[in-house]
Amino acid sequence: MSETRSTSRGRSRHRRRKTALLAGIPLALTSAGAMAYGGVFGVFGADAQPEASAASATTSARTASSALAGVTDVANGFASVNALGQNGTYGGRDGQTVTVKTLADLERYATASEPYVIVVAATISMNPVGKEIKVQSDKTIIGSGTSGQIVGGGFFLGQGVHNVIIRNLTIRDAYQGVWNDKEHDFDGIQMDGAHHVWIDHNDIRHMADGLIDSRKDTTYLTVSWNKLSQDNKAFGIGWTENTTADITIHHNWIRETEQRNPSTDNVAHAHLYNNFLEDEAGTTIKSSYGNYSRGKTNMVLENSYFQGMTNPVVRDATATLVQRGNVFSGTSGKNESGGSGAAWDPKKYYAYTLDKAADVPALLKSGAGPRSSVARASGGTSGATTTSAAATTLTVAADGSGQYRTVQAAVNAVPANNASRVVISVKPGTYRELVKVPSNKPHVTIQGSGGSRKDTTIVYNNASGTPKPDGSGTYGTGGSATVAVDADDFQARNLTISNDFDEAAHQDIANQAVALRTSADKVLLDGVIVSGDQDTLLVDTASKDKLGRVYITNSYVIGNTDFIFGRATAVIDKSVITLKKRWNGTSAGYVTAPSTAANRKGILIANSTVSGDVSDRSFYLGRPWHAGGDASLDPQTTVRNTSLSAAIRTTPWTDMSGFSWKADRFAEYKNTGAGSGAASSERPILTDAQATNQEVADWLGDWTPTAG
C-alpha cells in the first residue's frame, strides 16, 4: 500500500430499524441442461403470472392452465408410487395458485389446510434466522424463475404431512459461523415422518445443520436435480430403528460438503442414480465420505460420478449395497459393496432411464438447480430444453463460442451511462487479462456461467512495482488490480478474481499486487473467490468525500499481508477468509488494513471463518493504515460472530507506520474458535450495547443489496 487513500464524510446518517438483507440472489443462467416437467409452465421467465399492484399475494382461478408451474406434471421415482392412500405426488394441483413475496404470505399459504400452488417471486428472509415453516399437506412451493429465494431458514414437514412438492427455489444462508454446528438445527428442508414428497431443481446451500434431513421413517420421497453445496452435512436419512422407508435420489450435484452425501440409515429401498459427488480441490472443505449405506439399508447405486471424494462409497456390515456402472475419478479410501440383503429391482416400482455416468458432471453442471424458464419436455429423464432469460446478457467465451472473447471486450460493449442492468455471462475458462469497469457504466454484473466459482477465472500478474509497457513508470498499488471497478451498482458472482504475481521471482520490485479494486458505491460480491498475496482486495472510494459501500457474501478472500484494505465501508459476511503463507514459506501477516475516515464505518467481518494452513499465532486481525500519513483518519475494523483459528495472535491488533491501533477503532464481539480470547486492554471486546450499533445494517445504511 504505497498510495495515499484518505476519506472524509460530510453527512450523518440517522438511526433506523435494522432490516434483513436480501443479498446474494443468483441471476438467471442460460443452460443446455434439462427439466422434464411434462408441460409448459409460464411462471418461469417472461410468462410469469402478473402481480397485483396493491397486494403482496395474488390468487388465480387458472388452475387448469398450462401457465401454472408444477401443477400438471407428476413426480418420478418413489414419490410417484401409489401407497398409504396417496396416488403419487402432485402437490397443490387441486387448489388455487398464489404468488407470494413476503414471509407472512408464504407462511400463511404453506401452513393452510387447503391445497395451494405457492409461487415464490421474491427473496424472502426468515425471521428469526433458522425459522422453518411448517408446511402442511397438498402444497406445491415453487420459485418463479430464479427469483424464488429463501434466506436464513427453510421448511419443516411433520408427521403425516404428504403430497408436497418443493421446486425451483434457492434455500440458503442460515450458517451461524460454526462448521459442524451442534447448537443450531437450521436445515434447508427437514422431514419427520412425512410421505410422498418431491424435492426438485433447488439450490440448497450454506445452512447451519443439514441441507436436507429425511427423518423418522419419511418415505415415498424423490430428491432430484438439486444443487447441494457449502455445508458440513448435505443430506441425512434415517434416525429410527425401523426399515420401512422407500427413497429415490437422482441427478443431484453434491459438492463442497463434508459428510452425509447422503448418509442413508435403515432405508428399505434406497435408489441412488446419476448423482455427481464432487470434492473440489483447493478448498478448505474436505469430504469424509460420500454415499453411505448404514444400518439395515438396502441400496442400489447406479451410474453416478464421484470426483475426488474420500471414501466415496461406504457400507455398514449390516447393510446391503449393489453398485452398477459408477465412475470414480481421483477418489481414495473405501469403495464398498455387497451384503446379505435380498436383491431388488427399482423398475418393479417405477420406470426410469439412466444417463451415462461419464455424462453426469456436464449434465448436472448445466441442468441442476433452479431454472429461469422451461420449454415443453421431449421425453426421457433429461430430454427437456431450456430457453434463455429475458435479461440483457452479453456472453464471453475464450473459444469464440460467445459474443466476445474477452471480458473487457464485453465491458466495452456496455453503453455509456446505461440505465439498466447488463449481465456479462462468462463461460468457464481462464481469462488472463486486465478488466476495468469505468464509472460511466453502472449496473454491470460479471458472472461465471460454470457450475463452480472456480470454473471461471480472471487473472493477471501486475504488481505495484511492475513497469508499465509504455515506459511511463510503474502501476502503483491501485493500478496493479486485475479487475478494477469504478462504476456504482456493480455485481460479481460465481467466479474467481486473482493476481498471481510471482513474489519469489521479483523481490526487486514493490510486491503489492491487487486482485480486485473497487472505488464505487453499492458493490455486491456473491459467491466469488478473490485470491492473491499482499493487498489482495482493495475496497476504496472514488474520492475522499464520497461514500463507497461493498457487501461480500458467500465468498472466499485469500492472502497474507493487509489483504483486505482501503477506505470503503465494507462488509464481509458469511464468508471464509483464508490465511496464506508468504512467498518464502513463512507464516506472518495481517488480515485487514483499514484507512477509514473519522465518523465513517470501516471494515466489518461478520458470521464468517478465518483460517488457513499457516502457523499458530502468526497473523494479526488488522492494523491501522493512515494512508499518506494522514493523522485525521480513524481506521476501523470490527470482527464479530466469527470463527477464528489458532493462527490468530492472542493480541490480534498491532501498530502501523508509527500510528497506534489503540488510537483508532478495532474491536471484536462474540468470536469463537482457538483464535478467540477474553477481553483485555490488548483485546477490546464490544459490550452487547455497543454491538447493537455495529451490525451489518449499520454498515450498509439505506442500501439493501439485491440482484438487479
> So what's the pLDDT on residue 1?
59
**In which element (H, E) is residue 412 found?**
helix 407-413
| pLDDT band, very low/low/confident/very high, at 39 (cuts 50, 70, 90) | very low
Of residues 475 and 147, more confidence is placed in 475
> So what's the pLDDT on residue 612?
96
Question: Do 56 and 105 touch, CB atoms closer than 8 A?
Answer: yes
**In which element (H, E) is residue 292 found?**
strand 291-294
Residue 70 has pLDDT above 60, yes or no: no
Give me the residues paired with residue 238 across strands.
Answer: 215
pLDDT in tens, 666-689: 999 999 999 999 999 999 999 999
Per-residue pLDDT, averaged over 4-15, amounts to 32
Of the listed ranges 2-11, 235-244, 277-286, 561-570, the least confidently predicted one is: 2-11
> So what's the pLDDT on residue 177?
83
**Residue 461 and residue 482: Cα distance in Å, rounded?**
7
| pLDDT band, very low/low/confident/very high, at 329 (cuts 50, 70, 90) | very high
**Residue 257 and residue 230: Cα distance in Å, rounded?**
6
> So what's the pLDDT on residue 387?
29
Write down the mean pLDDT value for the chain.
Answer: 86
The full DSSP string for 596-633 is PBTTS--EEEES-EEEESS-TT-EEEE----GGG-TTB
> So what's the pLDDT on residue 181?
78
| pLDDT band, very low/low/confident/very high, at 388 (cuts 50, 70, 90) | very low
> So what's the pLDDT on residue 706?
81
Per-residue pLDDT, averaged over 514-529, amounts to 97
pLDDT in tens, 172-207: 998 888 878 778 888 999 999 999 999 999 999 999
**Residue 148 and residue 538: Cα distance in Å, rounded?**
33
| pLDDT band, very low/low/confident/very high, at 707 (cuts 50, 70, 90) | low
Per-residue pLDDT, averaged over 365-372, amounts to 86
Question: Do 321 and 338 touch, CB atoms closer than 8 A?
Answer: yes
Catalytic one of 187, 200, 217, 535: 535
| pLDDT band, very low/low/confident/very high, at 378 (cuts 50, 70, 90) | very low
Asked, as a colleague might, if the bond just before 705 is cis with ω within 30 of 0, I would say: no
| pLDDT band, very low/low/confident/very high, at 134 (cuts 50, 70, 90) | very high
Which amino acid, residue 495? L
pLDDT in tens, 220-260: 999 999 999 988 899 999 989 999 999 999 999 999 999 99
> So what's the pLDDT on residue 444?
96
**Residue 529 and residue 609: Cα distance in Å, rounded?**
14
Residue 660 has pLDDT above 80, yes or no: yes
Query: Around 577, how many Cα atoms within 13 Å sit in the side-chain half-sphere?
Result: 35
User: 3-class DSSP state for residue 579?
Assistant: strand
Of residues 341 and 618, more confidence is placed in 618
Q: Are strands 523-531 and 556-559 parallel, antiparallel or unpaired?
A: parallel
Per-residue pLDDT, averaged over 121-137, amounts to 95
Of residues 33 and 351, more confidence is placed in 351
Per-residue pLDDT, averaged over 45-74, amounts to 34
Residue 264 has pLDDT above 90, yes or no: yes
Concerning whether 209 is annotated as a catalytic residue, the answer is no
| pLDDT band, very low/low/confident/very high, at 74 (cuts 50, 70, 90) | low
| pLDDT band, very low/low/confident/very high, at 68 (cuts 50, 70, 90) | very low
**Residue 93 and residue 332: Cα distance in Å, rounded?**
46
Residue 52 has pLDDT above 70, yes or no: no
Of residues 14 and 76, more confidence is placed in 76
Catalytic one of 105, 231, 562, 634: 562
Concerning whether 573 is annotated as a catalytic residue, the answer is no
> So what's the pLDDT on residue 265?
96
**Residue 682 and residue 621: Cα distance in Å, rounded?**
12
Residue 64 has pLDDT above 60, yes or no: no
> So what's the pLDDT on residue 650?
98
Residue 32 has pLDDT above 70, yes or no: no
Q: Which of 677, 493, 636 is nearest to 575 (CA)?
A: 493
Residue 125 has pLDDT above 80, yes or no: yes
